[in-house]
Structure 1
Amino acid sequence: MQPYKFILSGGGTGGHIYPAIAIANELKLRFPDAKFLFVGAQDKMEMQKVPQAGYDIKGLWIAGLQRKLTLQNAMFPFKLVDSLFKSKKIIKEFKPDVVIGTGGFASGPLLQVAAMMGITTVIQEQNSFPGITNKLLSKKADAICVAYENLERFFPKEKMILTGNPVRKDLIAIGGKREEAISFFQLDASKKTLLVLGGSLGARRVNQLIEKELEAIVAQNVQIIWQCGKLYFDEYKKYNSSLVQVVSFIERMDLVYAAADVIISRAGASSVSELCIVGKPVIFIPSPNVAEDHQTKNAKAIVDKNGALLLKEYELETLFSVVFETLLKDSGKQSQLSENIKKLAMPEATQKIADVIVKLINK
Structure 2
Amino acid sequence: MDNYRFLLSGGGTGGHIYPAIAIAEELKRRYPGAEILFVGARGRMEMEKVPQAGYPIRGLWISGLVRKLTWKNLLFPIKVLVSLMQAWKIIRSFKPHLVVGTGGFASGPTLRMASAMGIPYVLQEQNSYAGITNKWLAGKARRIFVAYDGMERFFPARALVFTGNPVRERLARELPPRSQSLTHFGLQPGRTTLLVLGGSLGARRINQLVDAHLPLFKKMGLQVLWQCGKGYYETYQDRQAEGVAVRAFISEMDAAYASADMIISRAGAGSVSELCLIGKPVLFIPSPNVAEDHQTKNAQAMVSAGAALMMKESELDTGFEGRFRAWVEDPQGMLRMGARMQELGRPAATRHIGAEIQKIVEADAA
Structure 1 counterpart of 2:325, one-letter code = E
Question: Which 10-residue stretch deviates more, 215-224 or 171-180?
Answer: 171-180
Equivalent residues in 2 for 1:1-363, closer than 5 Å: 3-174=3-174, 177-363=177-363
- Cα–Cα, structure 1 residues 82 and 176, in superposed 2: closer, same or farther, change >3 Å? closer
For residues 226-256 of structure 1, give each alpha carbon's deviation from its aligned partner in whole angstroms, at most 9, with x where no partner exists: 1100000000011110011111011211111
- Cα–Cα, structure 1 residues 291 and 72, in superposed 2: closer, same or farther, change >3 Å? farther
Q: CA deviation at 1:191?
A: 2.2
CA contact (8 A) 1:129 1:297 kept: no
Structure 2 counterpart of 1:155, one-letter code = F
CA contact (8 A) 1:174 1:278 kept: no
Distance 1:294 1:248 in 2: 25
Q: CA deviation at 1:175?
A: 5.3
Distance 1:254 1:176 in 2: 7
Instruction: Point out where structure 2 has 5 or more consecutive residues left out of the alignment.
Output: none
Distance 1:241 1:4 in 2: 49
Question: Which 10-residue stretch deviates more, 279-288 or 294-303?
Answer: 294-303
Q: CA deviation at 1:2?
A: 7.6
Q: Which runs of 4+ in 1 moved over 4 A?
A: none
CA contact (8 A) 1:197 1:264 kept: yes
Instruction: Look up the SS of the partner of 1:345 in the other structure.
Output: coil
Distance 1:276 1:3 in 2: 34
Q: CA deviation at 1:10?
A: 1.2
Q: CA deviation at 1:176?
A: 6.0
Instruction: Look up the SS of the partner of 2:202 in the other structure.
Output: coil
Structure 1 counterpart of 2:270, one-letter code = S
CA contact (8 A) 2:111 2:121 kept: yes
Instruction: Look up the SS of the partner of 2:230 in the other structure.
Output: coil
Distance 2:278 2:181 in 1: 14
Instruction: Look up the SS of the partner of 1:287 in the other structure.
Output: coil
Distance 1:169 1:38 in 2: 18
Q: How many residues align?
A: 363
- Cα–Cα, structure 1 residues 159 and 263, in superposed 2: closer, same or farther, change >3 Å? same
Distance 1:88 1:300 in 2: 42
Distance 1:176 1:252 in 2: 10
Q: TM-score, normalised by structure 2?
A: 0.96
Structure 2 counterpart of 1:138, one-letter code = A
Instruction: Look up the SS of the partner of 2:148 in the other structure.
Output: coil
Distance 2:115 2:333 in 1: 48
Instruction: Look up the SS of the partner of 1:149 in the other structure.
Output: coil
Q: CA deviation at 1:183?
A: 2.7
Instruction: Look up the SS of the partner of 1:225 in the other structure.
Output: strand
Distance 1:284 1:268 in 2: 10
Q: CA deviation at 1:113?
A: 1.5
Instruction: Look up the SS of the partner of 1:103 in the other structure.
Output: coil
Question: Which 10-residue stretch deviates more, 183-192 or 234-243?
Answer: 183-192
Structure 2 counterpart of 1:261, one-letter code = D
Distance 1:361 1:106 in 2: 23
Distance 2:13 2:132 in 1: 18
Distance 1:165 1:72 in 2: 34
CA contact (8 A) 1:174 1:258 kept: no
Distance 1:319 1:194 in 2: 19
Instruction: Point out where structure 1 has 5 or more consecutive residues left out of the alignment.
Output: none
Q: CA deviation at 1:116?
A: 2.2
How high is the sequence identity, in percent, across the aligned residues? 55
Distance 1:258 1:309 in 2: 20
CA contact (8 A) 1:65 1:76 kept: yes
Q: TM-score, normalised by structure 1?
A: 0.97
